[in-house]
Amino acid sequence: MGKRFGKLTRLWLPVIASALVITVGAGFYSCSMAGDETTYKSLKLFSDVLEEIESNYVDEVDSEKLIQSAIKGMVSSLDPHSTFMPPEAFDELQDDTKGEFGGIGIVITMKDGILTVISPIEGTPAYRAGIMAGDVIVGIDGDSTRDMALWESVKKMRGPRGDEVVLTVVREGEPDPLEYTLKRDIIPMESVRSTSLKPGYGYVWVTNFRANTADDVIKALEKLGSGEVPLKGLIMDLRNNPGGLLNQASEVSDIFLDQGTIVSIKGRLEQHTEVFEAHANTTVRDYPIVVLINGGSASASEIVAGALQDQKRALILGTTSFGKGSVQSVKPLKDGFGLKYTIARYYTPSGRSIQAEGIKPDIEVEFELIKEKKEKRTESVFDRMVREKDLKNHLEPEGDKPGKEKDKEKKVTGHGLISLDRLNHDSQVQRALDILVSYEIFNGLNKG
């Protein structure tokens, strides 16, 4: 596309998903603590405690495991997105090259130390079984998730296609735990799907931001615009998109912008500060755009929505997004360990930090299935969202002090399966389509 941003920093949602395990950024920087007397005193205290436990604890202890646990606790106390990873967790984190894997298809997070579902992925085993946003997973194959690391739960839910995994779930309003036996399936790591809703009106669904997402969006737009009727309006669906690569969020935004700031990231150190600017496009894309978001739209998807909203390039419709306005980097450590930690906050073109606030839609529309209210499960999936502000130790907004039924009609387009019947009954999609059609009608009236 001729418009490339080299930085492959991740915008890490508090999510390591059994359907969307997003991978790694490059190595980073280290800081010296030399000269900090307070730090050395604290390290001496740590050494004294370790020595005391090694000498006098009732059972013999593994000093290496104790130190690793101490490091893990130190890093996790920073914010929900910073973590110290043992080699097996670091390997899982970098598992973005397969393109697909066996799993159940849910986006998860740790909320106050509890394994919580952010959203199921449409069309996956978890979605079909009835797993809901907000569900608390208390057991996996009979093992309690209490004190289980996020990467451990991901590993337990992954596995060969066809193998079963049993989830025990606690749900608000249900007196007893629910048990789901799910048969793992292949979860593709595709990120762009598209279809035509009616002549001239395209729908592009971006599920996450991977290495080729911007290129795939361009291909989808070219295909949508190649019919007898050129594109007159576009709906870009970022609902339940947990994020991904920073450069891909910038490039997707740049597809629709010709100038101005897309996003800026600002950290404590100068090398963690950068501004991403739009570049002139060789292809004219001046049609109106409606972007759909909800509480599952986070990180990179919030960058795209914020850039197009602030630049007055798209109308944002749906419900308030997740509110993750921080940037993480991953540093490989010796012996296969890894460190993922927060290095910066990001800001929309107008200077907004959406940390723990989210992108607020221009037009708020709740999700429902039109004329199909019997699908209460699906309605709850979109309504009950865990957000950044709900997570323990989340970064405060800047300036604040810390204190179903199977689809009836399907169409294969782009890289995946889209249910046209479902889109035709999706209240947010249909509202967006009405807006685009109205825009064309009013333009015609003005020209007349």
* DSSP letters for 188-257: E---EEEEEEETTEEEEEE--B-TTHHHHHHHHHHHHTTSSS---EEEEE-TT---EEHHHHHHHHHHH-
Residue 55: Cβ within 10 Å count: 8
- 291: three-class secondary structure by DSSP: strand
Measured CA to CA, the distance from residue 168 to residue 153 in angstroms comes to 13
Residue 310 catalytic? yes
Q: Is 236 left (phi over 0), alpha (psi -120 to 50) or beta?
A: beta
**E strand or H helix at 376, and its extent?**
helix 376-383
Residue 143 catalytic? no
Catalytic entry in 299, 326, 329, 353: 299
Token match 């009727």: residue? 229
Catalytic entry in 79, 310, 390, 426: 310
Amino acid at 282: T
Measured CA to CA, the distance from residue 209 to residue 339 in angstroms comes to 22
Cα 406 from chain centroid?
Answer: 26
DSSP 265: E
Residue 324 catalytic? yes
Catalytic entry in 111, 155, 324, 340: 324
Q: Which of 166, 192, 163 is nearest to 179 (CA)?
A: 166
CB of 16 closer than 8 Å to CB of 151: yes
Q: Is 299 left (phi over 0), alpha (psi -120 to 50) or beta?
A: left
Strands (E), 255-356: 261-267, 274-277, 289-293, 315-318, 326-332, 338-347
Q: Catalytic residues, which ones?
A: 299, 310, 324
